[in-house]
């Protein structure tokens, strides 16, 4: 007969009676405890031996947990250190198996859909932790035994024993913590950990779950050879998560989520906004984020963005054009917002930064939703999280994001990490591409290409053939398209009338032909063919009308 454990029935903190052992590791034990003050209430009580500096670490974990307010993270209700030198964290008790338990119960094989569903929830949790204020929180120890799953397949992340707050500029961590088989290289080397460390551990865990329990450091085969039905998007994303150098990995949780968005229903991705209208049109076009800007100022990025929006409108593909809130306002005036915007109208960027506001009717023009900034200028502080909330709020099959020349803004860089396509407008004036700012941006675009991003250069204006070749050789790659010249007088005349010149058939047809090489990159052939089937007016059509 087994003897009764010495701890069983012990009372800690004067009220928590230890009932059973839920789990244990090298440094702590977690017990199920009943509350002798709140009858019927049960808690998970974590016991940690606090000796010397361990007491400081315990208090740091307790204070960190006390600040968290996320439904899928442990809720701390009490903490204390006893006279005997043991620290106790009292947290809400979560019923259910760990992901490791579930994995083993199913002979180390889980449905890919379930693994993706779990990954998306973990990415949401990481986004919350990594954007926590005043300092991000780095979890550092993701593994299946630290993930709990309830009967609805909802995830709870437990055990923050090795989590830490990120300190900018620090070159190394005070402790080299993590779990062998899942930890990132910088954890083994004692270097600084950051959000990308958690993303590496996510990649390690996904590899483990998808390979039948093989650790990534001992892998003999790539994932596609271990299991041939893993979606390519998932495999390539895991590849980017598992790069040894942090700068070569996916950079944020939101970037990973956007990479994987085609693998899960839209409802799992959206930030709920019940007041938004449903899409006008269902399209077979895969969701795409397209970032558009100029290599330098005044090169026609906004004109090109409007052109793409109206071509998509003509193809009956719902789209949205977003004006980066930190640039000089332009779009509202170009579209004659005072005349065409709905009334009342609230600028989406203002709404995002003021959660108490009531979002009014979106500005929809056919299949295009316009999202300009206030012509008086954006007054708030635009952060990365705001960009992604706006991106999801304006959920459309294709979102065009005009960044002008603000490639260095943190939110723009974040969007570029997540973008499906990046368009850079250039013109042929000598010397502009050789400016220091242009060279720096070209290096930045090259770094995106190295990480698998598609960067397209589009030229604005036509050059004679003998000059064009010399100019193209000065660019990192040949322009994919060339925007045609449209008489300035016609553009001005349309603007004074409050019209969009891109909606005039004779101009839209020319612009479509010019941008067709890029459109072929993002749209299926059937969609492009729909535009080609539209009747085109000849230069004599206006005379036929008069006759």
The CA distance from 103 to 45, in Å, is 25
Peptide bond into 344 cis (omega under 30): yes
Beta bridge partners of 487: none
484: tokens are 């045609």
Which of 463, 451, 456 lies closest to 424, judged by CA? 456
Is 124 considered catalytic here? no
Alpha helices in 68-111 (DSSP H): 99-105
Which position among 124, 141, 198, 420 bears the catalytic label? 141
Phi, psi of 109 (to 5 degrees): -145, 115
Strands 454-460 and 421-427: parallel
Contact 414/258 with Cβ under 8 angstroms?
no
Beta bridge partners of 302: none
Alpha helices in 74-231 (DSSP H): 99-105, 112-130, 185-188, 195-210, 223-226
SS3 17: strand
Q: Going by C-beta distance under 8 Å and a sequence separation of 6 or more, which residues neighbour residue 122?
A: 142, 147, 155, 157, 202
DSSP letters, 499-511, are: --GGGSHHHHHHH
Q: Is the dihedral of CA 362, 347, 395, 423 positive or negative?
A: positive
The CA distance from 421 to 536, in Å, is 29
266: tokens are 């839209």
Which of 82, 73, 76 lies closest to 60, judged by CA? 76
Q: What stretches of 25-154 adopt beta strand conformation (E)? A: 28-35, 42-49, 76-81, 86-92, 137-138, 147-149
Residue 400, number of CB atoms within 10 A of its CB: 26
6: tokens are 């010495």
Using CB atoms within 10 Å of the CB of residue 506, give its burial: 0 to 12 exposed, 13 to 18 middle, 19+ buried.
Answer: middle
Which of 188, 190, 222, 228 lies closest to 207, judged by CA? 222
Size of the chain, expressed as the number of residues it contains: 547
The CA distance from 461 to 468, in Å, is 10
Contact 212/226 with Cβ under 8 angstroms?
yes
Q: Is the dihedral of CA 511, 513, 518, 521 positive or negative?
A: positive
Query: What is the set of active-site residues?
Result: 141
């Amino acid at each position: 007969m087994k003897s009764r454990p010495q701890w069983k029935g012990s009372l800690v903190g004067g009220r928590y009676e230890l009932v059973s052992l839920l789990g244990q590791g090298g440094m702590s034990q977690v017990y199920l405890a009943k509350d002798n003050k709140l009858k019927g209430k049960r808690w998970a009580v974590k016991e940690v031996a606090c000796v010397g500096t361990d007491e400081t670490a315990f208090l740091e974990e307790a204070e960190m947990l006390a600040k968290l307010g996320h439904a899928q993270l442990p809720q701390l209700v009490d903490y204390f250190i006893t006279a005997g030198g043991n620290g106790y964290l009292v947290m809400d008790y979560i019923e259910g198996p760990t992901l490791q338990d579930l994995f083993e119960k199913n002979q180390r094989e889980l449905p890919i859909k379930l693994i993706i569903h779990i990954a998306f929830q973990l990415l949401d949790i990481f986004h919350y932790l990594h954007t926590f204020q005043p300092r991000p929180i780095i979890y550092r120890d993701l593994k299946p035994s630290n993930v709990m799953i309830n009967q609805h397949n909802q995830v709870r992340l437990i055990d923050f024993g090795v989590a830490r707050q990120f300190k900018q500029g620090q070159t190394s961590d005070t402790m080299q913590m993590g779990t062998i088989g899942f930890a990132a290289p910088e954890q083994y080397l004692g270097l600084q950990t950051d959000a990308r460390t958690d993303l590496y551990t996510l990649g390690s865990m996904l590899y483990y779950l998808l390979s039948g329990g093989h650790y990534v450091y001992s892998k003999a085969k790539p994932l596609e050879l271990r299991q041939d039905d893993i979606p390519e998007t998932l495999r390539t994303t895991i590849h980017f998560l598992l790069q040894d150098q942090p700068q070569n990995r996916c950079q944020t949780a939101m970037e990973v989520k956007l990479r994987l968005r085609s693998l899960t229903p839209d409802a799992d991705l959206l930030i709920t906004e019940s007041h938004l209208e449903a899409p006008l049109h269902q399209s077979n076009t895969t969701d795409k984020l397209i970032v558009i800007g100029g290599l330098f100022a005044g090169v026609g990025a906004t004109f090109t963005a409007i052109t793409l929006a109206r071509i998509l409108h003509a193809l009956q593909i719902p789209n949205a054009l977003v004006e980066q809130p930190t640039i000089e306002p332009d779009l509202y005036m170009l579209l004659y917002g005072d005349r065409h915007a709905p009334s009342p109208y609230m600028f989406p960027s203002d709404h995002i930064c003021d959660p108490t506001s009531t979002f009014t009717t979106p500005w929809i023009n056919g299949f295009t939703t316009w999202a300009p900034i206030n012509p008086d200028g954006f007054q708030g502080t635009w952060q990365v999280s705001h960009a992604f909330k706006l991106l999801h709020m304006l959920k459309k099959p294709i979102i065009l994001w005009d960044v002008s020349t603000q490639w260095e803004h943190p939110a723009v860089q974040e969007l570029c990490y997540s973008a499906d396509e990046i368009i850079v407008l250039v013109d042929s004036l000598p010397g502009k591409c050789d400016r220091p700012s242009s060279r720096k941006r070209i290096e930045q675009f090259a770094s995106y290409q190295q990480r698998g991003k598609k960067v397209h250069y589009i030229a604005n204006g036509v050059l004679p053939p003998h000059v064009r070749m010399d100019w193209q050789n000065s660019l990192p790659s040949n322009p994919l398209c060339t925007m045609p010249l449209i008489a300035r007088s016609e553009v001005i005349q349309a603007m004074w009338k409050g019209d969009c010149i891109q909606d005039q058939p004779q101009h839209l047809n020319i612009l479509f032909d010019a941008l067709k090489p890029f459109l072929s990159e993002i749209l299926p052939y059937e969609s492009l063919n729909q535009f080609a089937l539209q009747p085109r007016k000849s230069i004599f059509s206006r005379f036929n009308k008069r006759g």
